[in-house]
Structure 1
């Protein structure tokens, strides 16, 4: 490796370490990512103007890569707004409330419903929906509000978001950073998501039952349900139309899933199908609900969705832009400036690592999992998964295999920690809707999630 390559790779490694340290300190990574891009560009080209312009270019590259994911989430959130305002969402899941007859059924039914709704609508909109309809039912069945919050958290922000099999936002981010197809990450994540989900939710349920017997948790009869659960904007819609839409929405999304398998739609094609379906549902529901003002309301709901999507992905774009520079993004932003013989910064580092340090499957799995946890400490879950993907590629290059499994493991660790299960400021929505202390909810989730991550990491070692 030439001197010039050593400088470029050294700068990249230095800023990766810096980003991890900033995340450990729970600070924002945007500034250090931007500085890293500029210095990488200057070291590679020797031009200040190219380096400064490369910051903007890297943002364009990152947004271009992420745009399908951002758009589909924006549209789905916009659709969720109109379905919630018209009461269609509530009508869709109300039949499930008849299954909730005791605390055990309440925990598992609420969790499974939350997981399914989160696959199609994402967990953030699903929290308010599930809380509004299922919380009062669960309390009557004897499950404390804390149990409802734990169930929604682990199944929604844990299982559903870490796999993200329908919208495919998370696997798209990690796959691009690792330089592999999205379908590879999804396939590799299935056994790991199942192991993580089963272990975590089962242990959390055991803790809940134990504390309920000991009287540690407040009796549901003493729990005050927050008024926010029962207050939402309602748009008049006849019972017949509302029931028809409540039946149409799941049917259309199930047909999407069938089409994905029938026509082998993966990655961007699958995302486009889901996004297009959500947009059609948004238009139909809005026009039926608002009639004469429907044209304006469609735009209003889209604006709400875009505001949510860019608020979520605002912190993600700078750090994603930096880590894309570790792969093909570097040459696309700064031109063919890497010296001959380079296969991309991350690949070069992986090959050098393999030649100098003996990397085992155990070390690779533990490191990627640990980095996933660290990147999740900012409470986003998404801001650092590109780092997990890049490191997975690095270790897989050194090992000669296992890039998809390592990428999936890093994704699961980052999202379970930062996506809203054990970082207090990330799970405030679920805590607020259930009227519980977010720090107490985080504490209750800590041991189940930690044990689940340990078991999942060990399983990943055998899958490499």
Structure 2
């Protein structure tokens, strides 16, 4: 039974709408989120100093909640730097180029390899790790550079990043926004990720092969070589050591995954296992590659990783801080300020919405896809998924079920749109590696991704 809404609930809802509006106009939402935290603090504490302090304390709370995710990504990026510098990534990937006998095999081999590596290294480092190595082989097999960019984009920044099963950065943000366990979001996302991934990549494959057959898309005259990659490597490792590492590293991560299932490690525990493994790989590679300056190189790689991690999550912190206030965060930041009858701001709004507007699974799923897509318009994919989680909880509470499914759907829509497949400035890393126009890559991605989102939204209705 819903409680009588207080002013704080209306203000929170108004700021959610303001944030959505700012995102629609492709503007930064940081100021709006900070203003929202301040106004909410002023309303619940009736103290100017407490509300000002609350802004800072909410940032601390958000950083504490996100620190594990930031650190795991930072360590993995640092490790990817070591893999590139030592040339081990080349040894890991180059054998797959021999399997690319034709354009069909090239499409699926590049895609599946990009997806797997992106699950463990994240797409941005994965692009650098495998793009330059696989691109020449795929082009020689008959797949145009634009096709290589499409498949890397869809499998890496689409399937791998929107699911994020291993590092669990995306599920962590959306689950926190919805106030539900990370496991729930991951479980609910599995069928949706499979549907979205299959529909989108098959549609893209069909359109690519059709245009190649019609002669509208041709393999470029220019010759792609491995020289760009070779300039990155400053390896002193012997070929034998490179091959040993290339064989051992995938086994270590496979053992991590096996341990997660055997020991039922989830969330932070699973992340810690992958992070620790990555740290030891980084240390071993760096020390063996540079015995004289290895100690300082370890620090350099970690600093590079941390710079990347905070660059990605810096804009997310104030946004997450605001949406954490919708659940338990408000108590952690401002104390026991809500009435005892309250279930949290978002839950209260959901109950009130259920008593006012007759919601159903169709409306809920459609709304979450739209909200997710809007939050991705800034080209980050991550900056607004806390909002998607918050709205999912609101609708799930109103419908009476399906919060996890709605949360997963919002996450998928946000990351497919903003994580690097439909926003021109988000596809730049892949476009740069493949030496193509980012706007052309977005145009090529548009139809398959929209088809995928429509089909996935329809499918989600039946899971709610």
TM-score band by shorter chain is over 0.9
Would the alpha carbon gap of residues 210 and 225 (structure 1) be closer, same or farther in structure 2, given more than 3 Å must change? Answer: farther
Post-superposition offset of 1:98: 1.2
Task: Identify the residue that residue 243 of structure 2 maps to in structure 1.
Answer: 243
Task: Identify the residue that residue 400 of structure 1 maps to in structure 2.
Answer: 400
Would the alpha carbon gap of residues 104 and 248 (structure 1) be closer, same or farther in structure 2, given more than 3 Å must change? Answer: same
Paired residue secondary structure (1:143) = coil
Q: TM-score, structure 2 length as denominator?
A: 0.98
Task: Identify the residue that residue 12 of structure 2 maps to in structure 1.
Answer: 12
Task: Identify the residue that residue 287 of structure 1 maps to in structure 2.
Answer: 287
Task: State the alpha-carbon separation in 2 of the partners of residues 276 and 2 from structure 1.
Answer: 46
Post-superposition offset of 1:223: 6.3
Matches within 5 A, 1:16-27: 16-27=16-27
Would the alpha carbon gap of residues 181 and 2 (structure 1) be closer, same or farther in structure 2, given more than 3 Å must change? Answer: closer
1:130 and 2:124 matched: no
Paired residue secondary structure (1:292) = coil
Matches within 5 A, 1:269-280: 269-280=269-280
Q: Is the 8 A contact 1:229 1:433 kept in 2?
A: no
Would the alpha carbon gap of residues 40 and 226 (structure 1) be closer, same or farther in structure 2, given more than 3 Å must change? Answer: farther
Task: Identify the residue that residue 156 of structure 1 maps to in structure 2.
Answer: 156
Matches within 5 A, 1:182-221: 182-221=182-221
Task: State the alpha-carbon separation in 2 of the partners of residues 153 and 229 from structure 1.
Answer: 20
Paired residue secondary structure (1:231) = helix
Task: State the alpha-carbon separation in 2 of the partners of residues 167 and 100 from structure 1.
Answer: 29
Task: State the alpha-carbon separation in 2 of the partners of residues 160 and 235 from structure 1.
Answer: 29
Paired residue secondary structure (2:54) = helix
Count, aligned residues: 463
Matches within 5 A, 1:326-341: 326-341=326-341
Q: Is the 8 A contact 2:133 2:226 kept in 1?
A: no
Q: Is the 8 A contact 1:178 1:393 kept in 2?
A: yes
Would the alpha carbon gap of residues 226 and 17 (structure 1) be closer, same or farther in structure 2, given more than 3 Å must change? Answer: farther
Task: State the alpha-carbon separation in 1 of the partners of residues 226 and 292 from structure 2.
Answer: 35
Task: State the alpha-carbon separation in 2 of the partners of residues 397 and 2 from structure 1.
Answer: 14
1:422 and 2:422 matched: yes
Task: Identify the residue that residue 96 of structure 2 maps to in structure 1.
Answer: 96
1:440 and 2:440 matched: yes
Task: Identify the residue that residue 307 of structure 2 maps to in structure 1.
Answer: 307
1:322 and 2:322 matched: yes
Post-superposition offset of 1:220: 3.2
Post-superposition offset of 1:405: 0.6
- Residue-by-residue CA offset, 1:396-440 (whole Å, 9 max, x unaligned): 111111111111000000000000001000000000100110000
Matches within 5 A, 1:325-404: 325-404=325-404
Paired residue secondary structure (2:292) = helix
- Residue-by-residue CA offset, 1:14-53 (whole Å, 9 max, x unaligned): 1101111111111111111101100011011111111110
Post-superposition offset of 1:227: 6.7
Task: Identify the residue that residue 62 of structure 2 maps to in structure 1.
Answer: 62
1:181 and 2:181 matched: yes
Task: State the alpha-carbon separation in 2 of the partners of residues 188 and 229 from structure 1.
Answer: 39
- Residue-by-residue CA offset, 1:249-297 (whole Å, 9 max, x unaligned): 1010000000000000000100000000000100011110011211111
Post-superposition offset of 1:225: 6.7
Paired residue secondary structure (1:339) = coil
Paired residue secondary structure (2:150) = helix
Task: State the alpha-carbon separation in 2 of the partners of residues 38 and 112 from structure 1.
Answer: 46
Task: Identify the residue that residue 255 of structure 1 maps to in structure 2.
Answer: 255
Would the alpha carbon gap of residues 450 and 229 (structure 1) be closer, same or farther in structure 2, given more than 3 Å must change? Answer: farther
Task: State the alpha-carbon separation in 2 of the partners of residues 175 and 284 from structure 1.
Answer: 35
Post-superposition offset of 1:219: 2.2
Q: TM-score, structure 1 length as denominator?
A: 0.98
Task: State the alpha-carbon separation in 2 of the partners of residues 340 and 447 from structure 1.
Answer: 49
Matches within 5 A, 1:158-173: 158-173=158-173
Would the alpha carbon gap of residues 352 and 402 (structure 1) be closer, same or farther in structure 2, given more than 3 Å must change? Answer: same
Give the root-mean-square deviation of aligned CA atoms: 1.3
Q: Is the 8 A contact 2:373 2:413 kept in 1?
A: yes
Task: State the alpha-carbon separation in 2 of the partners of residues 219 and 76 from structure 1.
Answer: 34
Structure 1 gap segments, 5+ residues each? none
